Structure 1
Amino acid sequence: MINQENLKLHLGCGHKILPDYINVDKYGNPDVVFDLETFPWPWENDSVVEIVMHHVLEHLGQDTNTYLKIIQEIYRICKNQAVIDIQVPHHRHDNFIIDPTHVRPITVEGLTMFSKKANLQWQAAGVATTTLGLYLDVDFEVTSATYVPDGEWASRWNEKSITLDELSQAARNFNNVFGEVHIKMVVIK
């Protein structure tokens, strides 16, 4: 185990090395070479204050149990109020669909399933949504989600010729409206 406190991890860094972070990847020349689909991770409980995962999570955990274990490991190593910064391709964009290494769509709604607060609200309302936060004893709160328009939709948005409601409606009906989703979560312990 790497014994440090207040760590900032850049998981799945690829060739992009961030200063002041421990850069981690299975390939290349990161600070730490590590396969994030092996367990346990080499960081101590409650030692991490921030995790950056840009275009990584959609590549991990093709097997559901592996994906859920990744979520549990993130929770285990993070301190209370640690920030998780996730960027993923939008699940209805060709960039997600065409890459054979993308093993699962990552959505705000899917990550919200790891919120105990949301889980308890769903239970009280009799909603049939899976309460993964309660099942796995993890707790994350999504604090922001930004959908990044792509192509002609980005142009129309930048020109202010389309409203947010119209853009959201288009995303329900068409592919390639949003290219990415940027999600911030906080760990609750």
Structure 2
Amino acid sequence: MELWNKKYPDFIGYNCRITAFDLMKDKISVKADAKVNASNLFMDQDALKHAPAKKVTRKQKHAFETLYSTLNTAYTTDVDTHIKKQKKAWKQNEVKISGTKASLITVVFHSSFGENENELFIGHAGVLVPTKDKKLLFVEKLSFSLPYQVLKFDNRKQLKNYLMGMYDTSWGQEEAKPFIMENTKTAL
């Protein structure tokens, strides 16, 4: 980290959302005037702004912010309510992922600050790639300062168990469990 900070004092690196989007950006389209709430993407925006090489065009940045947009949601721990909200927002914003065998995997979190302040946000993202031997490779970046990694799974159930083991950590709180999307559909 010391060497990194010395060479790139204003660049914190890439995270999971940037990495997954970069791998899939040519396969993602959104409505040109899509409604965006990028309030939870301030670190991502800073990383893209200070990156040593330009990662995204203006149009791609809009797609990035639309895809990962924070959504207002209901004050409930009912996961199905939140899944419907996420799907509806992506449908309204015409979020589409097509033309590839790879899939964008997102882990969506519910954040509750009381009855009147509830949000959904994508807290983790990766790319799922099928192999010729019918296995699945999951490409992810765990954080700005951690390395990229590729994990191999036999099936989507193993991927779900891995992701929920990593991110279903709000026991006993007022938030709903996280849920996983594959492209724009509920996964696993």
So what's the TM-score if we normalise by structure 1? Answer: 0.25
Structure number with the bigger relative contact order (C-alpha 8 A, sep ≥ 6) is 2
TM-score by length of 2: 0.25
